[in-house]
Chain A
Amino acid sequence: NAGVTQTPKFQVLKTGQSMTLQCAQDMNHNSMYWYRQDPGMGLRLIYYSASEGTTDKGEVPNGYNVSRLNKREFSLRLESAAPSQTSVYFCASENSGANVLTFGAGSRLTVL
């Protein structure tokens, strides 16, 4: 029972490079989320997808794009990475209406 799987776990980028964080869940959940976690800032919502084919901006969407590839997968893309995007990124999924989020183990991204 894998739950929510994120790849990669660690990544170092140079300013201006692009990359995609992958997330997959095997719980047949409808909703998926991307959060970033920074020291002293808690967890802030970047984007979410309430169902396959839909995406919406969260609190801090600038500099990111997302794709809900299918019901299982929700990817986060940084087109031109900036040092301010150095963070730990968490993907989560939820069975619609239950409000209970299941988180992945996180992806630590460093932008030099």
Chain B
Amino acid sequence: GENVEQHPSTLSVQEGDSAVIKCTYSDSASNYFPWYKQELGKGPQLIIDIRSNVGEKKDQRIAVTLNKTAKHFSLHITETQPEDSAVYFCAASKGADGLTFGKGTHLIIQP
């Protein structure tokens, strides 16, 4: 089955700096790559996603890039703010049998 590796497990950045979280996947048939944000005490919530026919997607301060050849994708957050502090999960999917998640990155924004 699919295996998703996510790094780093913890990332601490100064407010206003950029943050990058990286994921690799194993199954070349995977074609959908979402990113979820989980705030303390809540369920994960989709923040951005990308499909395999696209190399990059942006939404205000967040962007995701995908390299199908290398089987890796990354989340970029620019101009980080305190409300960006959360756990972020990457995931991969190739169909209707659910998402395979990475183990998560705890992003800490230092004031």
Contacts and interface: CB of A to CB of B under 8 A. Distances in A.
Contact of A48 (B36, B45, B98): B98
A106 B42 CA distance: 7
A40 interface: yes
B1 A59 contact: yes
Contacts of B93: 99
A53 interface: no
Interface residues of A, number: 26
B7 interface: no
Interface string A52-95: 00001011000000000000000000000000000000101000
B34 A100 contact: yes
Nearest to A47: B98
A33 B91 CA distance: 15
A90 B89 contact: no
A12 to B, nearest CB: 18
A101 B44 CA distance: 9
30 contacts: A31-B96, A40-B9, A41-B103, A42-B6, A42-B89, A42-B101, A42-B104, A43-B44, A43-B89, A43-B101, A44-B101, A45-B98, A48-B97, A58-B97, A59-B1, A90-B43, A96-B96, A97-B96, A99-B32, A99-B34, A99-B49, A99-B93, A100-B34, A100-B49, A101-B44, A101-B46, A105-B42, A105-B43, A106-B41, A106-B42
